[in-house]
Amino acid sequence: MTERIGPEDDDLLLVIDVQNDFCGGGALAVPEGEAVVPVINALAGRFGHIVLTQDWHPAGHLSFASSHPGRQPFETAELGYGPQVLWPDHCVQGTQGAAFHAELALPQAELVLRKGFRPAIDSYSAFFENDQKTPTGLGGYLRERGLGRVFLCGLATDFCVQFSALDARRLGFETVLIEDACRAIDLEGSLAAARAGMAEAGVLTVTAGQIG
């Protein structure tokens, strides 16, 4: 696709988890994670509506490998709601690692949605917890605001961005991935799988240069 797209009055820029722990030097650093910051800052001026998500885990969260004696980060465990990657401790509530990257400049954002705060269940998606049943309320918020199309950017493409995109589609929103405003962890082929899954679900992929 080469034509330009949006943004329209009912479009949303959904900025996923651009937090210190996912950037260089962080506890769960995404390769080149901080590179999304200037791209997102430049994009933001083109949108009338912006929502940020913020991973916000209590200490000892069940998704942390440290909560499972003998298990290592990046192993997969079967929890009550299904398979769960066990992560290094990250984005613990109130820590510097959970704070947004210092150079992320989005004072016009209308909502900061915190997720992953329930101690016994993780939350990749901006719309649902990892049981894929418990809503965050974002879907209802967007509908009540009259917002119909969601543009996604942030960290990481193959986890929180992907899950948010798939859930946005499941809820009936037009969904657009801004590929160069995201970075991936790419855990055992997870990026290729994420791209395929999003394409199958009808997520449109564009670059930042195509917007506006």
Q: 160 an active-site residue?
A: yes
Among residues 115, 153, 167, 182, the one annotated as catalytic is: 115
Q: What are phi and psi of 124, to 5 degrees?
A: -80, -45
- State whether residue 174 is helix, strand or coil: strand
Instruction: Look at residues 151, 171, 36 and name the one whose alpha carbon lies nearest to residue 105.
Output: 36
Residues 102 and 104: their CA atoms lie apart, in Å, by 6
**H helix and E strand count, the chain:** 4, 8
Instruction: Give the list of residues 6+ apart from residue 197 with CB closer than 8 angstroms, or none.
Output: 162, 166
Of 17, 55, 89, 167, which one is the catalytic site residue? Answer: 17
DSSP letter at 66? G
Of 91, 153, 160, 182, which is the active-site residue?
A: 160
Residues labelled as active-site residues: 17, 115, 160
